[in-house]
Structure 1
Amino acid sequence: MTHSPTPAAPGIGALASASEATMPVRHRNFRSFDTVMQENRGVGPGFDALRIALALVIVTYHSLLLAPDSSGFDFISGNFYQFIIALVPMFFCLSGFLVTGSALRTRSVKVFLTYRGLRIFPALAVEVTLCALLLGPFMTSLPLAEYFTTKQFFSYFGNIIGVVRMELPGVFLDNPLPKIVNGSLWTLQPEFYCYLIMAALMASTLVYRRGWYSATFMAATALLTASNALFGYGNPGDLFPPNVIIYYFFAGIAAYHWRAWIPAHPLLFALALAMAALMLSRQGLVYLAAIPVTYCTVYAGMLRLPRIPLLQKGDYSYGIYLLHFPILQSLVHLFPFLRTWWLLLLLAVPLVIALSALSWHWIEKPSLQLKKRILPRQTPPQVMSAAQPGNPLARIGG
């Protein structure tokens, strides 16, 4: 790859369009996120492991939440509150970072939405259907004739299109967290909104223009932070409200645009981690906290995290996230002796990983392979540096 001179500190007006075709300059003075990605074929070496790790940490947290003995949950919630509420936002900022790469490579709303649809809907449809038609009838306290004819049964299928319904008739009524079949589904609507807004940004070309996107993002950050500080807009309860985790997705987009100017340094990571913990513990700073949280998340993805062969045979993170909650609830319902969270987790994790592997190899991976048939073959854009002479995109205003 051609090395361009290290650019001066960039301003909004001086920066070019940040499409995937305008590969950022590799800095000589420090290793940036982009430097690490270029050394690893365009991806962070730890992203796969990070997604798995985040998913398993959420499984652990939900084990604490759903176990009959609540002492473990009370301890974790009381002492590690900032970390717990950051888990889902970390998923969203990581998703924003990764999805932006896909969007800028394809530069097509149709292709982008097709990719997202093939990734999300097939496994989701199977999970929702299996819960409604197999798990529900087995676990319900109602006669089956009544179960299959209630409005609640039919409305549960709305989860497939993002109309979130967490209850099935007569299911899990006596669990410590009663009635909730799959609490993980609450993130579906924010996720769909992220993809739709991203599609709109692509259609308007705003997401291709680093300067204009950054200016818009900073203006939104200022407005949301003021609303948060003055009116409590976005303050978390047990979890962040949907609008906050959507914002973190767009923080991930900003990080992708500026990846060539963001150092990948352990001291900066330690500072960002401390800032994130401090900001997340203070009311009025939940939006500003996206900056250090996003840095910590992406930095972790740039590390060569330990590889576990069993978990590296596919992208199991989505299946783990999607399937674990009904598995935990079922175990609590069927085995009352699983009172402590660690017993519940010990029994649940092998089941969750096994079913997630089946979901990946039988549903998710075959679905993703359909994109070769559904969409015309994409011609990768020519890779050029934004500062490279002769690149027409370098003359486009940010």
Structure 2
Amino acid sequence: MYQARPLADVLKRDGNNFDLLRLMAAIAVIVGHAYALAPQPPLQDKVLSLLHFDYSGSLAVKFFFFLSGLLVTNSIITRPSLSNFVIKRIFRIFPGLLVCLLISVLIIGPIFTDLSIGSYFSEGQTWQFLFHNFFLYDIVWRLPGVFSQSKYGVNGSLWTLPYEVLCYIYLAVFFGLGLIKDKIIGTLVFVIIIGLSFAGPTYLPTFFASNPDSFMLPGCFALGGLFAVHKDTLRMQVVSLVLLWMLVYLLKGTGAYQLSFYIALFYSAIFFSTLEFVRKKLMLPFDASYGVYIYGFVVQQCLHAMFPSMGVYANQFFSIIIAFTLGTLSWFFVEKRFIDYGHQLGKADFPASWRQTFVAKGTTDLNNSLLNRIKENYFFLFILFFLVSLLTHVLVLKEIFPGYYRPFTPQHSDFYIAAAFAHSNLSFYDLLFWPRPVNLLFAKLVGYTGIKGSIASVVVITIANSVFTALLIKKLLNLRANWFLFFSFFLYCYLLYSQPYFYTFYAQDMGAQLAYFLLITGAFIFAFQYKKHFILSSVLFFIFALLAFLSKETYALAALFFAGLWFLWHYKSSVVKALTPGFIIAGSLVISYLIGVLVKSGFIDTNADASSAYHISFNPLIVFREWLSYAREGLNLIHVLIFALIAYLLWSLKSKEFKLAKFLAIGLVLGICLSWLPNALLPNHHYKGYSFNGAYMLFALLCFLPLFFKISRTGQVLMGLVIAGTLLSPVLNKKKYEDNTWVLIQEETQRNLLAGLNTTIGSLPETKTPYKVLIKGISFPFHPFAFPEALRVYSHAVYGTYDVMLDNPSMTYNTKKDLVTFIHPNDSARVQYDYEWTFGDDGSLLADKNLMATRALKNFSDSTTRFKVTAKDLTSYNPEGFYPLEGDISWTNGNASLSVNQTFSADTLLVAMNTYLPPISQNVNPEVKLISQGKEYTAYQKMRNDNLFYYLFKIPNGLKVDKVFIKSNTIDATPDQRTLSFPFISLEIKR
């Protein structure tokens, strides 16, 4: 017999089986989505048929929010710690989400996209899907070309996550304000939220009120919170269960019916989970519900894309099995690990004051901190540091300079080199005999990911460089992995990414970033392994150093200097181990130099002409002048003061244990000085962006801050000045940021240009004989035509040859390179072009003229209309895929056809279709085919003029056309339940 129990007992570890409830709800979401993703009329959701106001998937989501409200409110009441609350929520949601998104972008996307792999990865939308959806900001529903026939996107289930996180934020704010601690006030807050959700949703915050599907979610969350506030008095008992359902019956037909239904349903679910059989016999050893939820939708889309004829029930069955498998794997390999980390990390509350944290307690008192427990787990630390660096990268670019986050947009023609190499006839073997071969080999490799993908690879390397630098310092100085180390690393990244010329050059200087990455990776391996595996670590260090110097020579002198410091530190203990890094760096430098001489590299030619950009000057006055210029450009006064304060703090530490830190600090300061020197030797090639070279080293002095915990109160004040100075340092970069305005203008121009090329090149029809395209308006200095092979990232680029019209006296005209020929404006009249594309001064597409179609249409201007049908006449032509007439239009469902049954005595036909395209249908692109005796005829030319579409067909003379088939992509017309594409007005055929 069931024994009544207070909810407080139910919420204890063994008092319920909520994992089973969550799993059932996640499966219900899959069941509900199947009717939309794999429709099989007249079948519809059973819950919807029963309730008429909600369906199984939506009901399950509301239960998720209720249960989440119940559990997290109980958690924050039981353990009133905001830091613990935030940490647990972050570690519960984001790790599993990130893996799901990576699988979607890197595996599912390439498999199911209609685009080429290069085009797919070069699309900005690909990376927006990853980054926007991970940060739950402005959710991106589609991946380029993936599930293009579906109107629901890749993973529709993600829509609830921003709302859930927002509920967490509101709860944390309410708790911080003390509103939850008091039962009466807490009850009032939750009741108001419930009332607004169910009775006055327009008064909710805009984020909730703007979406009809989200109105009730905060109310359901608040219901859970209300249950938690009253957990000691609310009892799970049969009488209450029966009375609640009686109340639902009595309120049917009233405005309170739905709310009463949800309360009864949620109470019943909790009651069910407390049954002894459910708690003991059905208890699951894992919680796969979150994984089932986030993978379910995308699994259903994959199944429908592979097996479009698969019905609803089969889609539900196989999707549940696959999603459950993925959810289980996600639980054991991702979610459980990070949840455990979060629980342990959450045990260490962040101390209340600076003095308590960093002076009295020092670095040894975060006793239960996860980071202290895994201080030698550098793989995990690398992930955490990488996330900190990435978030800082986003923060600085969005909030300081340039003021937005579009890091994968080209700014210069050099950004197209990687894609050009990837699509050129040069093999990897050929590039071995070029100057700086490793840089070019890497460029060719990442070029296969497209223009934006190749830039993204440099961004990743740059972030990794900051991480490896900080972790190497941590290792050498034996720093504890505590909160302040992470904060110091954040300051380091903040200073690095706000360096005045960082944004406008770091991604362009691929060779320098790659060289530093290879050097720091080799040094990292050697520092970690030389005691245990001296020979192996030395060999690996030599390989990485050689590859680095064959990428770019920027850090050669700095590396030699650090090798010298290593010798001075270690020669007393082991001369061999002390000399080894020096021999490695010197040997790899000599070999790379000899290779450069062998391939006649212009970068190391001491005999270069004095007017050459790569003329090497050894005049000490000229070199010092150039070096000083880089120092002024790369640093500001606050930077100098920051590092002077750090030096003062460091030298105030008298203990011998800090001798290595002082040695290393000297190396970091001189490291940036020596990193500027190679470019200072090239006075004809001065560029402000090179001032970023070496910033990885100098700015890493901020990672020394954890050393200063135990110093005097004066030292604490100085350390506070260092932190404040770091955060304020971008203020003095204002004029230097303004110097970069021209680069930002070029970036916007490239962005517009690539968007225009994506549209125009993407619309080129397939052909055996390439179309002749005239490109006008390229008045700006940078563009992909400078490296013509880069155009091949667009899969349809091979269907055209491109004459780029330029008026430049220094230009060599009429010399074709790959698909591109530069021509003088006077030569454009000598060729009959098929297309003409005109771009504005800002790179935007001004005109896209289909000259071939225009000529063909001109031939039809006086021709006779042989067939015409309007929306009003459709019923006479056996229409399929058309909805009933609405005024003068008839909506299509994306697969429409109508009978023609007419013979045409002509070898060319023109089909003109008039449509009405409202904003929601603006991206619909109808394709018209003629059907004759089962054979399809496809238009060889297509042209659009506003809402009019023209199609030119080559046909056998005397062809009898049986049908016209109109295929088009569908739109999301929610809440309209119909499958819609565009409104049809009329269609006519001319010969």
Question: Could you tell me the TM-score, scaled by structure 1's length?
Answer: 0.75
- Counterpart residue number, 1:252: 224
Asked if the contact 2:245/2:261 (under 8 Å) is kept, the reply is: no
Higher relative contact order (CA 8 A, sep 6+): 1
Correspondence 1:168 to 2:168: no
Question: In structure 2, do the counterparts of structure 1 residues 281 and 357 end up closer, same or farther at CA, with 3 Å as the change threshold?
Answer: farther
- Counterpart residue number, 1:189: 162
- Of the three residues 238, 241, 250, the one matched with 1:269 is 241
**Bigger share in strand:** 2
CA apart distance, 1:362: 0.3
Amino acid at match of 1:357: T
- Counterpart residue number, 2:328: 357
- Counterpart residue number, 1:55: 26
Question: In structure 2, do the counterparts of structure 1 residues 224 and 47 end up closer, same or farther at CA, with 3 Å as the change threshold?
Answer: closer
CA apart distance, 1:272: 2.7
Could you list the structure 1 runs, at least 4 aligned residues long, displaced by more than 6 angstroms after superposition.
230-234, 277-281, 307-311
Amino acid at match of 1:355: L
CA distance in 1, matches of 2:180, 2:204: 29
CA apart distance, 1:208: 1.6
Question: In structure 2, do the counterparts of structure 1 residues 241 and 75 end up closer, same or farther at CA, with 3 Å as the change threshold?
Answer: closer
Asked if the contact 2:97/2:294 (under 8 Å) is kept, the reply is: yes
- Of the three residues 65, 74, 92, the one matched with 1:119 is 92
Unaligned runs of 5+ in 2: 350-991
CA distance in 2, matches of 1:225, 1:101: 23
The within-5 A match list for 1:74-89 is: 76-82=47-53, 84=55, 85-89=58-62
CA distance in 1, matches of 2:278, 2:7: 21
CA apart distance, 1:210: 1.1
Asked if the contact 1:32/1:263 (under 8 Å) is kept, the reply is: yes
The within-5 A match list for 1:1-398 is: 31-34=4-7, 36-37=9-10, 41-42=12-13, 44-73=15-44, 76-82=47-53, 84=55, 85-157=58-130, 158-163=132-137, 164-175=139-150, 178-223=151-196, 225-227=198-200, 241-273=213-245, 275=247, 290-304=262-276, 306=278, 312-338=284-310, 340-371=311-342, 374-377=345-348
Amino acid at match of 1:181: V
CA apart distance, 1:333: 0.6
Question: In structure 2, do the counterparts of structure 1 residues 68 and 272 end up closer, same or farther at CA, with 3 Å as the change threshold?
Answer: same
CA distance in 1, matches of 2:330, 2:61: 22
CA apart distance, 1:267: 4.0
Asked if the contact 1:244/1:287 (under 8 Å) is kept, the reply is: no
Question: In structure 2, do the counterparts of structure 1 residues 308 and 291 end up closer, same or farther at CA, with 3 Å as the change threshold?
Answer: closer
Question: In structure 2, do the counterparts of structure 1 residues 254 and 349 end up closer, same or farther at CA, with 3 Å as the change threshold?
Answer: same
Amino acid at match of 2:174: L
CA distance in 2, matches of 1:225, 1:313: 37
SS of equivalent to 2:287: coil
CA distance in 2, matches of 1:328, 1:83: 21
Asked if the contact 2:197/2:216 (under 8 Å) is kept, the reply is: no
SS of equivalent to 1:370: helix
What do residues 36-67 of structure 1 show as CA deviations (whole Å, max 9, x unaligned)? 427xx455422121111111121222223322
- Counterpart residue number, 1:23: none
What do residues 251-277 of structure 1 show as CA deviations (whole Å, max 9, x unaligned)? 101111112222322343244346558
SS of equivalent to 2:144: coil
CA apart distance, 1:349: 2.0
CA apart distance, 1:204: 1.3
CA apart distance, 1:116: 0.6
CA apart distance, 1:218: 2.7
Asked if the contact 1:67/1:341 (under 8 Å) is kept, the reply is: yes
Asked if the contact 2:198/2:219 (under 8 Å) is kept, the reply is: no
Question: In structure 2, do the counterparts of structure 1 residues 226 and 90 end up closer, same or farther at CA, with 3 Å as the change threshold?
Answer: closer
SS of equivalent to 1:313: coil
Question: In structure 2, do the counterparts of structure 1 residues 42 and 210 end up closer, same or farther at CA, with 3 Å as the change threshold?
Answer: farther
Task: Tell me the C-alpha RMSD between the 2 structures.
Answer: 3.3
Question: In structure 2, do the counterparts of structure 1 residues 242 and 179 end up closer, same or farther at CA, with 3 Å as the change threshold?
Answer: closer
CA distance in 2, matches of 1:130, 1:328: 15
CA distance in 1, matches of 2:293, 2:194: 29
Asked if the contact 1:167/1:180 (under 8 Å) is kept, the reply is: yes
CA distance in 1, matches of 2:133, 2:85: 22
Identical positions, percent: 25
What do residues 155-175 of structure 1 show as CA deviations (whole Å, max 9, x unaligned)? 212111112222111111224
CA distance in 1, matches of 2:327, 2:215: 29
Asked if the contact 1:48/1:315 (under 8 Å) is kept, the reply is: yes
SS of equivalent to 1:250: helix
SS of equivalent to 1:167: coil
What do residues 337-368 of structure 1 show as CA deviations (whole Å, max 9, x unaligned)? 31x21111222222111111110000001111
CA distance in 2, matches of 1:357, 1:123: 11
CA distance in 1, matches of 2:223, 2:260: 10
CA apart distance, 1:205: 2.0
Amino acid at match of 1:320: V
Question: In structure 2, do the counterparts of structure 1 residues 209 and 76 end up closer, same or farther at CA, with 3 Å as the change threshold?
Answer: closer
CA distance in 2, matches of 1:262, 1:316: 29
CA apart distance, 1:77: 2.9
SS of equivalent to 1:374: helix
Amino acid at match of 1:321: Y
Asked if the contact 1:225/1:288 (under 8 Å) is kept, the reply is: no
Question: In structure 2, do the counterparts of structure 1 residues 68 and 217 end up closer, same or farther at CA, with 3 Å as the change threshold?
Answer: closer
CA distance in 2, matches of 1:350, 1:322: 14
CA distance in 1, matches of 2:178, 2:187: 13
Asked if the contact 1:32/1:259 (under 8 Å) is kept, the reply is: no
CA distance in 1, matches of 2:229, 2:203: 31
CA distance in 2, matches of 1:287, 1:210: 22
Unaligned runs of 5+ in 1: 1-29, 379-398
Amino acid at match of 1:342: Y
CA apart distance, 1:182: 0.7
CA distance in 2, matches of 1:173, 1:32: 52
SS of equivalent to 1:324: helix
**Bigger share in helix:** 1
Amino acid at match of 2:184: G
CA distance in 2, matches of 1:273, 1:172: 43
Question: In structure 2, do the counterparts of structure 1 residues 31 and 306 end up closer, same or farther at CA, with 3 Å as the change threshold?
Answer: closer
State how many pairs are aligned. Answer: 341
Asked if the contact 2:197/2:204 (under 8 Å) is kept, the reply is: no
CA distance in 2, matches of 1:171, 1:280: 44
Asked if the contact 1:44/1:303 (under 8 Å) is kept, the reply is: no
SS of equivalent to 1:119: helix
Deviates most, 214-223 or 305-314: 305-314
CA distance in 1, matches of 2:205, 2:41: 30
Amino acid at match of 1:292: A
CA distance in 2, matches of 1:56, 1:74: 14
Question: In structure 2, do the counterparts of structure 1 residues 352 and 140 end up closer, same or farther at CA, with 3 Å as the change threshold?
Answer: same
CA distance in 2, matches of 1:167, 1:203: 37
CA apart distance, 1:214: 0.7
